[in-house]
Structure 1
Amino acid sequence: MATTPTPIPAPLLHYLLIQLLLLPYQQHILTLAAPGGGKWNLLLSNIGVSAMHMQLVNTDRVILFDRTDFGPSNISLPNNQCRNDPNDLTLKVDCTAHSVEYDVASNSIRPLNVLTDVWCSSGSAMPDGSLMQTGGFNDGDRNVRVYKPCSDDSCDWQEFDVALRQKRWYATNHILPDGRQIIVGGRGQFSYEFYPKKAGADQSYNLPFLSQTNDPRIENNLYPFVFLNTDGNLFIFANNRAILFDILMESWDLQGGANVTAEVLVCVAPKGSFTNANNGNFVRALNTCGRIRISDPNPQWVMETMPSARVMVTWCATKWQCTHHQRASSGTAGDIGRNPVLTPLIYRPNPIGLRFEAQNSSSIPRMYHSTAILLRDGRILVSGSNPMRTIISRVDFPTDLTMETFSPDYLDPRWYVRPVIVSPASHSKSDMDNSLLLISKLKAE
């Protein structure tokens, strides 16, 4: 007996028609050539300061600053201002700026006035969008500086003297769920404290982990890596060890955190590299990184291999991947890094062996005291490099005052090709019981 074909339900038919219309687009994506490897673009040849630190604020402007104790910068303070600091180690009266504001939209620089030495200070953004920078060197090691963004040119650094309990040089800051920042460690400091301070709670707290990871005279637990875990604990990495640190001294609202997986990627230097470099033996950097899922009940390290060795690593995290800023391939921080790495890396959460991808190289070495940050449009802003104490040009790695952007291959225009519905017109209506014919074409934006 003959059977009657079962009619295809209208919703399923609509779905199949849409998939059929999308087929040319899908084939186009599959046949795209390999990505272009990213593109470098020089924005400014001289921003006046070498970018030791950078931070994007909520007005789409970037705050940059460098140490104050290396002499004059290449940009003057506005309106004939001068910084009078009897404690400065180089210039007691300095009429140049050591911090600038970069306007992304206009590609312009405005000088700012930072009063005390921010050399290797630490900071983070506050809930209201302000940038808080703490500690530093010499006259700035216990100070707190706050930059509150504005829509005009009226905002500048505000400084609060001796606001910290301890000297904080090479410390690390992290924002907490209650809006305060925790400030961890620093050179010779095996403690932590909070800022802003609460009434009656001005003390610092001993953290034995920092003294346990300190090898005397080897400087290998400066700037400890600090990340807030999904359960409110802190992941702290220093030297070659890590802990999960319980600082839940009060109740914080961490809605939904238990269902979120958190992983940390750490790329460090070979043991003994600082001592070797000080003796003129510039040991090759490691080409490995450790990855650990800190939200697991029993976290374990998994090692990953980069295409090239590098030290002084900087990562910029996007939604699905990370971009690795170039640095040196031997030696260590300071003026004892060698063999610059000009090639950034893309790191994607793909299977092991397929995660790292080299991008196109820059022509500018970015050594000690350089940095990179992610802009809102997905580009990477890169600036700085000054291994020397002063602005010097006749050395292997001179002071660099340029600013450039790197557009990773995920911004390649070839990925912008997408289907556009030609017919029916926008906002057309259709019943689920009737057929609907969609006509589309490919459009490159």
Structure 2
Amino acid sequence: MKEERFKKNLYAVIFSFFFLCSTSDLLLPRSPLAILTGGRWDLLQPSIGISAMHMQLLHNNKVVIFDRTDYGPSNLSLPSQTCRNATVFDCSAHSLLYDVASNTFRPLTLQSDTWCSSGSLNASGSLIQTGGYGVGERAVRIFTPCEGVSCDWVENRAYLSSRRWYSTNQILPDGRIIIVGGRRAFTYEFYPKNPGKSVFYLRFLAETRDPNEENNLYPFLHLLPDGNLFIFANRRSILFDFVNHRIVKEFPEIPGGDKRNYPSTGSSVLLPLFLTGENNRSKVSAEVLVCGGSPPGAFLKAARTIPRIFVGASRTCGRLKVTDPDPIWVMEQMPSPRTLQTLFSTRFYTYPTNPTRPGDLKFSRQLESLECTIRRLSSSPTAES
């Protein structure tokens, strides 16, 4: 297996948990094989005082980290005279800014609750964070990076037209951010606000809600090369024209019956694009990957039965080439079931497999095995309609 082959490709990796190992490994990564086969854990801080429900790397090599505010005090104090008094009087911080280079952090001030909110970086690198719980459900919070210590959250707690809890954000080509869905919010809106009408109904969001279980929260959004938006919720997906506010087409349901969105949470990623088109064709194709989730009824069995019943998560992944005229889901099996995982594309477009194993066991179970070979995501496993 040649390292040069790694350098020329990209691959998708699924992680259930992510942690910054060390500043040297983060800033000066070793070869892909070395990362897979070795390394060490370095404790950067014994405690930062808050839990990282949300975190975002900024363009100045700093990370903004924040948690919900309604669950009691944290272990990080705010500077004097900056206590919050939204629902309770609280002098502890629920957000901080971590400096990767210096391994230091300082507290930030959040006034509204960010529990299960959503966000996106805008074109200038500011974090636009929206919605949440309680007094945070209509809030927009903006964090603009700076080199000094003066930057902090700026909040407008009444900006959104609809309550947004478990919604999803996506930056658009014109620099706006679209905010889609949320609990009992079958609508979408924009930041900055759309001139004239500010909120738009999307029937698809209501249709994908399961009674008493939902399974359509935190919908998956991907901006496609043609300027339209791919939206996936529960088991269904659409191509959406957000400029003219219309559904262009609905794709086939992902096979297998498993639910893919919160609370049966799987994950999704838009696979790397060939900007010159495949085989140097002019049209840029786009393929979406959806992995993990839970069987129907999993949430109700775990939450409302006595004794509680915990069913296994989904181990399937589906790929859909959304730019094809008549796309078909291509289904594969992961080595183990996964829910609440994170799926993202790295700079390598390949991942390790063992061709001697049965079809559903080709993923390498041990990353340190050097007997694995590299299979492209563009290979052709069995397609299902």
Aligned AA (1:270): P
Could you tell me whether the CA contact under 8 Å between 2:334 and 2:360 is conserved in 1?
A: no
Structure 2: runs of 5 or more not aligned: 5-32, 246-274, 370-385
Whole-angstrom CA distance in 1 between matches of 2:49 and 2:178: 32
Deviation at 1:39, TM superposition (A): 4.7
Which residue in 1 is equivalent to 2:321?
293
When normalised by structure 1's length, the TM-score is 0.62
Could you tell me whether the CA contact under 8 Å between 2:131 and 2:139 is conserved in 1?
A: yes
The answer as to 2:293 corresponding to 1:265 is no
Could you tell me whether the CA contact under 8 Å between 2:354 and 2:364 is conserved in 1?
A: no
Whole-angstrom CA distance in 2 between matches of 1:184 and 1:34: 37
Deviation at 1:310, TM superposition (A): 1.4
Could you tell me whether the CA contact under 8 Å between 2:333 and 2:361 is conserved in 1?
A: no
Structure 1 residues 38, 226: CA separation in 2 closer, same or farther (over 3 Å shift)? farther
When normalised by structure 2's length, the TM-score is 0.71
Aligned AA (1:235): F
Whole-angstrom CA distance in 2 between matches of 1:211 and 1:282: 27
1:217 pairs with one of 209, 212, 215: 212
Aligned AA (2:284): V
Deviation at 1:315, TM superposition (A): 1.8
Aligned AA (2:209): N
Whole-angstrom CA distance in 1 between matches of 2:79 and 2:363: 45
1:113 pairs with one of 97, 109, 115: 109
Could you tell me whether the CA contact under 8 Å between 1:228 and 1:235 is conserved in 2?
A: yes
Q: CA RMSD in A?
A: 2.9
Matches within 5 A, 1:226-245: 226-245=221-240
Could you tell me whether the CA contact under 8 Å between 1:37 and 1:358 is conserved in 2?
A: no
Deviations 1:95-139 (A, max 9, x none): 000111111111122111011001000110000000000010000
Which residue in 1 is equivalent to 2:126?
130
Structure 1 residues 295, 152: CA separation in 2 closer, same or farther (over 3 Å shift)? same
Deviation at 1:321, TM superposition (A): 4.2
Structure 1 residues 61, 350: CA separation in 2 closer, same or farther (over 3 Å shift)? farther
The answer as to 2:163 corresponding to 1:167 is yes
Aligned AA (1:247): F
2:187 pairs with one of 181, 188, 191: 191
Deviations 1:150-200 (A, max 9, x none): 011111000012111100000000000010011000000111111111432
Deviations 1:396-420 (A, max 9, x none): xxxxxxxxxxxx99xxxxxxxxxxx
Could you tell me whether the CA contact under 8 Å between 1:61 and 1:102 is conserved in 2?
A: yes
1:145 pairs with one of 120, 136, 141: 141
Whole-angstrom CA distance in 2 between matches of 1:40 and 1:311: 25
The answer as to 2:109 corresponding to 1:81 is no
SS of the residue 1:44 aligns to: coil
Matches within 5 A, 1:218-367: 218-249=213-244, 259-267=283-291, 268-278=293-303, 279=305, 280-321=308-349, 347=351, 356-358=363-365
- How many residue pairs match? The answer is 299
Aligned AA (1:56): L
Deviation at 1:355, TM superposition (A): 7.3
Whole-angstrom CA distance in 1 between matches of 2:109 and 2:144: 13
Percent identity of paired positions between Structure 1 and Structure 2: 55
Structure 1 residues 184, 34: CA separation in 2 closer, same or farther (over 3 Å shift)? closer
Larger RCO, structures 1/2 (Cα 8 Å, 6+ apart): 1
Whole-angstrom CA distance in 1 between matches of 2:222 and 2:51: 27
SS of the residue 1:83 aligns to: coil
Aligned AA (2:235): N
Whole-angstrom CA distance in 2 between matches of 1:158 and 1:68: 16
Deviation at 1:34, TM superposition (A): 11
Whole-angstrom CA distance in 1 between matches of 2:289 and 2:78: 40
Structure 1 residues 65, 355: CA separation in 2 closer, same or farther (over 3 Å shift)? farther
